[in-house]
Amino acid sequence: MMATRDQATEAPVGARRGAARRRPVAARPLPEAEGPIRRCLASGERLHQDRLLRFVVGPDGELVPDLAGKLPGRGLWIRPERALLERAAARGLFARAAKAPVKVPADLAERVGRALRRRCLEGLGLARRAGAALAGHDKVRAVLERGEAALLLQAADGSPAQRARLAALGRGLRPGLEVIETLTAVELGEALGRGSSVHVAVLPGGVAERLRLDCARAAAYDDPGTARPGIARDDGRGDGRDANGRGADGRDANE
């Protein structure tokens, strides 16, 4: 019902009266991440916490990923990049920040990678149950032509030419459209409770925003070349210290 009201509100008057061609809806870009700024232990960068991965030390002293950011305890933050997580573990940066011994699981990097993708799939499933996700080339194309999609998810293993055409169509009518190509066709299909899917459109709303952030972190984790919005400072030291020499346990970054 929410998606229907949004569409009715956004549609041009001429379109609702049966005009032959609907004009594109003005783009409403998704908001940038907001909230506290934290510092990555491994790179020294300062980012909005939604752009980072949070870890906490459990009661038994073992490092625990907290991708939802809800576990109790002091947060230890890493930019979503596998190499940085491995660097932090190898150099003992978690123990230094926690000021206590920390047990880091040997397969931590793999665990985090799987968990990031799982959050994307859960978010897409939530969008489906809310009626905010549409799959299939023709349905997705129709949503894009109306300028109603906030996100366009396309299978990383889908046809490059077909993906490029739909992305160009969507961005032509809605310049703020986010195009995400992180998951496979099988993963997209499983999240939607159907066979493999190559194209999925997600309508605007809170579910789309959560999915956008989760997919951005998942993409950046295995692809360091992915754009990293929200960075406040990158001094390039890579040793867990910022330009002023503050260590990874700086209170302003990891409270």
Distance separating alpha carbons of residues 235 and 148, to the nearest angstrom: 39
For the domain spanning 116-222, the CATH number is: 3.30.1330.30
Average pLDDT over residues 154-168: 95
Q: Which residue type is seen at 49? A: Q
pTM over 0.75: no
For the domain spanning 26-115+231-255, the CATH number is: 3.30.1230.10
Confidence of residue 17 (pLDDT cuts 50, 70, 90): very low
Average pLDDT over residues 22-27: 38
Enter the tokens of residue 80.
């979503």
DSSP three-state, residue 22: coil
pLDDT 10s digits, 66-110: 999 999 999 999 999 999 999 999 999 999 999 999 999 999 999
Q: What torsion do the CA atoms of 191, 194, 199, 205 make, to the nearest 10 degrees?
A: -50
pLDDT 10s digits, 122-159: 999 999 999 999 999 999 999 999 999 999 999 999 99
Ranges of beta strands (E only) in 79-161 are 133-135, 151-154
Confidence of residue 172 (pLDDT cuts 50, 70, 90): very high
DSSP state of 155: -
The H or E element spanning position 225 is: none
Q: Closest Cα to residue 27, out of 173, 135, 203?
A: 173
Same fold, 26-115+231-255 and 116-222: no
Distance separating alpha carbons of residues 113 and 254, to the nearest angstrom: 22
Is it the case that residue 248 has pLDDT exceeding 50?
no
Strand order across the 76-78 sheet: 63-65, 53-57, 76-78
- Rounded to an integer, what is the distance from CA 196 to the centroid of its chain? 21
pLDDT 10s digits, 104-127: 999 999 999 999 999 999 999 999
Strand order across the 46-48 sheet: 37-39, 46-48, 231-233
Distance separating alpha carbons of residues 58 and 213, to the nearest angstrom: 25
DSSP three-state, residue 101: coil
Q: Measured in Å, how far apart are the chain's first and last C-alpha atoms?
A: 40
> With DSSP H G I counted as helix, E B as strand and the rest as coil, what are the percentages for the chain, rounded to 5?
40, 15, 45
Q: What integer best gives the mean pLDDT of the chain?
A: 80
> Residue 21 to residues 5, 15, 16, 252: CA-CA distances in angstroms?
20, 7, 10, 54
Least confident of 98-107, 151-160, 196-205, 237-246: 237-246
In angstroms, what is the C-alpha Rg of the chain?
A: 20
What was the pLDDT predicted at 34? 58
For the chain, what's the residue count?
A: 255
Residue ranges covered by each domain of the chain: 26-115+231-255, 116-222
